[in-house]
Amino acid sequence: MSDLLKMTATQAASSLLKKEISSVELTNAYIDAMETTSALNNYVTPTIEIAKKMAENSDKTFAAGSAGPLAGLPIGVKDLFCTKDTQTTACSGILKGFTPTYESTVTSQIWQSGGVMLGKLNCDEFAMGSSNETSIFGPAVNPWSAKDGAALSAGGSSGGSASSVAAGSALMSVGTDTGGSIRQPAAFCGVVGLKPTYGRCSRWGIIAFASSLDQAGPFTRTVGDSALIFSAMAGHDSKDSTSASVGVPNFSDAVNSSVEGMRIGIPGEYHMDGMDDEITRIWKQGRSWLEQAGATIVDISLPHTKYALPCYYIIAPAEASSNLARYDGVRYGNRVDAETLDEMYEATRAAGFGEEVQRRILIGTYALSAGYYDAYYLKAQQVRRLIKQDFDLAFNNVDAILTPTTPTAAFELGAKISDPITMYLNDIFTVPANLAGIPGISVPAGLSKQGLPLGLQLLAAPFREDRLFSVASAIETQAQFLLAPARSAGELL
């Protein structure tokens, strides 16, 4: 594995600035890694020529002294972000071949900051899934493997975004999180994944799944790198009416700032029956690390936690069914011709959408239909409010909340795909943050008995990502996860 691939983004940025390395060299190392790790199926549309061009341009900005904060850093993009003139499919058959004429706000901010686009990354179809197995391109594979050698899921829906950063075929990547799609794959692949506060990053140009829950966020190898790229992604955008008009601090300042005196909540409701022992072990470990770092641990209660998953699986499909109505074979994407207009709609949507997406459309349409709206959708919105209130109350008393990210380590490909309910249960610890609109981060904390990464999740009050960075970096320092022997996926392949 090239030494260039071992650098964190923060290290690479500083070497680039000192002209010890060039972006062309760094980018070429990543392009080679994309090739050698292609069996992981992370990139659905590599953009090698664009990457080379952007790297050359970045090197010119270093020469001219006008380099942006992400200048020269090679970055992968979930195939849910519209990228101008580059195919964008949401990993769905219905959008195969779709080439946007515009660029999403988040990606355009990254490119304006000097980032280099490596390509579009695999994900579940329309971001619906927890294993990347609903992708029309087949699953992204986790670079970590269990001791028995079985191929493991990279998690989902942003499986390619997590796997590429873990495998060293992207220095950083971006994904989206509607119910856990950044934090869960980050935990499965042993990388850092941040879901920002709802409204922190613009949703403009991101293919919509559930508009009141979707947020863009970064995948990185370290907490410091997360703060670096996030500072470039965040900010108000007049093109997204739900984007928040709040200032964006330099989040790097929060990394490694002391957690001395901070109050960290441990919610009793996250002790689930049937949770793996090793998840309980790592959670306790996290708690004692933070205590050692000078934080005070407080037992707290989030009483409506048990309703979060059912509530999410009403609201998310309801919004999805409405968002996906636009794929009618007329204005966007692919069409299957038929005799009448109605038959054309039916044939197009039956052929273009996969099974999980069709299931969500059916659930969502049912939940929104005249006779059931009050019983399901309205009720779910009321429950959502209670979940949000639980967090509001908790954050009157604590600065951050510590939980596991997932109930298990990465599972085998194929293990859960035929049972949607088992698959949905994966999201049990991640969906409450989306329902409440609060930020969450998953940080790698250790390895399971099988030698697989385990993540810890931190949650904070709206717009307090700075606190997440402080507490996550305290865990990162103590966990020394980067030193774990199986860390270097390049060597595992």
What residues line the site for ligand GLN (CB under 6 A)? 127-130, 157, 177-181, 209, 316, 427
CB 353 within 8 A of CB 124: no
Dist CA 70 CA 51 (whole Å) = 14
- Exposure pattern of 424-435 as b/e (b: 16+ CB <10 Å)? bbbbbbbbbbbb
Dist CA 215 CA 230 (whole Å) = 12
In this complex, which beta carbon is closest to ligand GLN, that of residue 129 or of residue 160?
A: 129
CB atoms within 10 A of CB 397: 10
In this complex, which beta carbon is closest to ligand GLN, that of residue 259 or of residue 311?
A: 311
Omega cis (within 30) before 169: no
Catalytic residue list contains 306: no
CA torsion through residues 25, 173, 218, 280, sign: negative
Candidates 157, 169, 243, 442; catalytic one: 157
Closest-by-Cβ residue to ligand GLN is: 181
Percentages helix, strand, coil for the chain (3-state, rounded to 5) are 45, 15, 40
Candidates 181, 202, 321, 470; catalytic one: 181
Q: Shortest gap between Cβ of 14 and ligand GLN (angstroms)? A: 33
Q: Which helix (H) or strand (E) holds 70?
A: none
- 462 Cα distance to chain centroid: 18
Catalytic residue list contains 181: yes
In this complex, which beta carbon is closest to ligand GLN, that of residue 22 or of residue 158?
A: 158
Candidates 78, 120, 195, 416; catalytic one: 78
Q: Shortest gap between Cβ of 159 and ligand GLN (angstroms)? A: 11
Place of tokens 């990162």: 476
Q: Shortest gap between Cβ of 130 and ligand GLN (angstroms)? A: 4
Catalytic residue list contains 322: no
In this complex, which beta carbon is closest to ligand GLN, that of residue 254 or of residue 309?
A: 309
Q: Shortest gap between Cβ of 214 and ligand GLN (angstroms)? A: 7
Q: Shortest gap between Cβ of 184 and ligand GLN (angstroms)? A: 7
In this complex, which beta carbon is closest to ligand GLN, that of residue 275 or of residue 297?
A: 275
In this complex, which beta carbon is closest to ligand GLN, that of residue 225 or of residue 356?
A: 356
Tokens for 475, please give them. 């865990």
Q: Shortest gap between Cβ of 84 and ligand GLN (angstroms)? A: 23
Contacts of 421 (CB under 8 A, 6+ apart): none
3-state secondary structure of 74: strand
Residue positions annotated with a catalytic role: 78, 157, 181
